[in-house]
């Protein structure tokens, strides 16, 4: 009997070791394929990675759940850089930006990190562009730090509760940091590789995934353990400030406009867009063709929307 138990222990240990090695090896390949392509600054969470391109009124771009600045500098930054100075950041804990494991991940806390970046760059009231979860962070930034924004241009944003959780995020609902860390270094990477087609169909559909999204768009970075760990923490904290946000819409201190894809499979245009503006008519809603990943799949439509929205030009 003891021999069987020891064999099982050895088998489990060998399996865990193989998974950790596979994850580590994949991480190294990903980091070689998608190195940092911007600059770094220091804020309270550590080093923050960002790109800064163009001339004119400043725009700060905040990406969504599980993403990084590649969602913007794939095409949207270039589409806007002739008329604007575009700063796209890797949110702390994502892409190449640092974040301590115990740093708060709720939208208001993340808005505070963005406010630190705005101060570090010496920006005077930039336009804030937020995509998906980045939209909620942008709203929190405007409500907590109104002096740091001249307006919000929100792309397929999380603005309120009410949507059922997407199957694309089924693996992220983990309450324990210890379990989260263990999964990040064992099962998350191989499962992520196996489920790519399903997840991308939900996140991008009905639009096609750009063929070079994995590298130019930074998509491969999502396979790293740190990305899974922080994406899960962000997901679990994403609705923490929703009631507070909703209470502040009536007195938003800056202009707000929202662009949604009619066929978004992650966040509902009805719930997050039309119901929002029905309750708060001062917020402008535009609806276009496409799914959730508008900055990557419809960058020109996003650029035109942002230019129409910007009260600084």
User: For helices 133-144 and 107-120, what crossing angle results, to 10°?
Assistant: 70
Helix (H, G, I), strand (E, B) or coil at 243: helix
How many whole angstroms separate alpha carbon 39 and alpha carbon 307?
A: 25
Residue of 168, 179, 189 lying closest to 267 (CA atoms)? 168
Note the pLDDT tens digit of each residue in 175-194: 999 999 999 999 999 999 99
- Pairing type for strands 39-43 and 46-53 reads antiparallel
Note the pLDDT tens digit of each residue in 219-257: 999 999 999 999 999 999 999 999 999 999 999 999 999
Note the pLDDT tens digit of each residue in 128-168: 999 999 999 999 999 999 999 999 999 999 999 989 989 99
> Which has more pLDDT, 10 or 158?
158
Q: How confident is the model at residue 19 (pLDDT cuts 50, 70, 90)?
A: very high
Domains, the chain: 31-309 (3.40.50.1820)
The pLDDT value given to residue 1:
67
Give the angle subtended at the CA of 223 by the CAs of 191 and 265, to the nearest 5°.
Answer: 75
Residue of 177, 191, 255 lying closest to 223 (CA atoms)? 191
How many whole angstroms separate alpha carbon 201 and alpha carbon 80?
A: 28
Q: What are phi and psi of 190, to 5 degrees?
A: -60, -35
pLDDT, mean of residues 204-210: 97
The pLDDT value given to residue 3:
78
């Amino acid at each position: 009997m003891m021999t069987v138990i020891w064999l099982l222990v050895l088998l489990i240990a060998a399996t865990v070791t193989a998974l950790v090695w596979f994850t580590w090896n994949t991480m190294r390949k990903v980091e070689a394929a998608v190195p940092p392509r911007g600059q770094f600054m220091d804020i309270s969470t550590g080093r923050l990675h960002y790109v800064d391109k163009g001339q004119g009124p400043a725009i700060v771009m905040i990406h969504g759940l599980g993403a990084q600045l590649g969602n913007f500098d794939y095409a949207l930054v270039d589409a806007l850089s002739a008329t604007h100075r575009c700063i796209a950041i890797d949110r702390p804990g994502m892409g190449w930006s640092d974040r301590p494991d115990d740093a708060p991940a709720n939208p208001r806390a993340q808005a505070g990190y963005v406010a630190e970046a705005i101060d570090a760059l010496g920006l005077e009231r930039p336009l804030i562009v937020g995509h998906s979860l980045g939209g909620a962070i942008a709203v929190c930034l405007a409500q907590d730090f109104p002096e740091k924004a001249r307006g919000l241009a929100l792309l397929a944003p999380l603005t309120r509760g009410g949507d059922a959780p997407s199957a694309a995020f089924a693996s992220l609902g983990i309450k324990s940091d210890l379990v989260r860390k263990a999964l990040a270094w064992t099962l998350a990477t191989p499962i992520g590789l196996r489920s790519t087609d399903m997840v991308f169909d939900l996140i991008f559909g009905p639009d096609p995934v750009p063929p070079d999204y994995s590298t130019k768009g930074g998509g491969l970075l999502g396979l790293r353990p740190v990305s899974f760990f922080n994406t899960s923490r962000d997901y679990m904290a994403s609705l923490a400030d929703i009631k507070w946000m909703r209470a502040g819409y009536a007195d938003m201190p800056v202009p707000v406009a929202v662009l949604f894809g009619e066929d978004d499979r992650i966040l509902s245009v009805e719930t997050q867009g039309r119901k929002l503006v029905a309750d708060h008519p001062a917020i402008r809603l535009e609806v276009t063709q496409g799914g959730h990943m508008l900055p990557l799949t419809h960058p020109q439509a996003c650029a035109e929307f942002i230019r129409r929205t910007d009260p600084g030009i």
